[in-house]
Structure 1
Amino acid sequence: MKKNDLELQKKYGKQNPFTVPEGYFEHFTENLMERLPEKEVKALPEIKLWDRVKPWIYMAAMFVGLMFTVRAFVGTTQSADDSDNLTDMPDEYIESIVDQTMMDDYELYQYLTDADAGIYN
């Protein structure tokens, strides 16, 4: 690589072949500004009320749609009035549920007593 550089320097020399005209950069900015076209100043557009409120309306509609979508997939929950349906269940189901809780008779009695006390208060 250096050998090629030396050969080029011998052949062409070290002087810069490019020159800049006299005083070119002294008046460069003035000449450039004169050549630019005039720019029209536009007034700022009026922002209407609908343009300001529109994003908030869209966001509210999105949340309402999301709420209905979630409600459709999840379904409705049981209210406190539906808790009376335990009395409509057959004894076979209630016995299996009590067996799965792994409570002895005393714990079950205590739980039911506490639940009855909470209903009447």
Structure 2
Amino acid sequence: MTNKFNFDQPGNKDVFKVPEQYFENLQSEIQNRIAGDAAPLQGRRLFMNRVKPVLYMAAVFVVLLFSIRAVLNLTNTDKKQSVISKIDGVEMEEFQVNTMTAEEILLSSLDEYSLMYYYINQDELE
């Protein structure tokens, strides 16, 4: 690498060249390319373009359905509160559901084999 590049004298100043008669033929080339492209058919629409309005309408109906349902739910809570206030005078024990203790729930969920295993291996489990 003994050759050193001198930045003050870059040498050949015509590094990039435009092909001959490029600008004279440019307009005719562009016109030929434009005329050669066929325009897309206007009559044919994509499937989704046909379906989009129907989907939008369905979405609006779903939103309306849920909003009406929410409004009706809010108005029904007032009626529920009035029913609850009427029940206050009645004994609440009549309305209580049978409550199960933790032991009863555990025993109802285990089968006989699991219970036998528990009682036999009780020392190992602790």
What TM bracket, shorter-length normalisation? 0.3 to 0.5
TM-score, with length taken from structure 1: 0.40
TM-score, with length taken from structure 2: 0.39
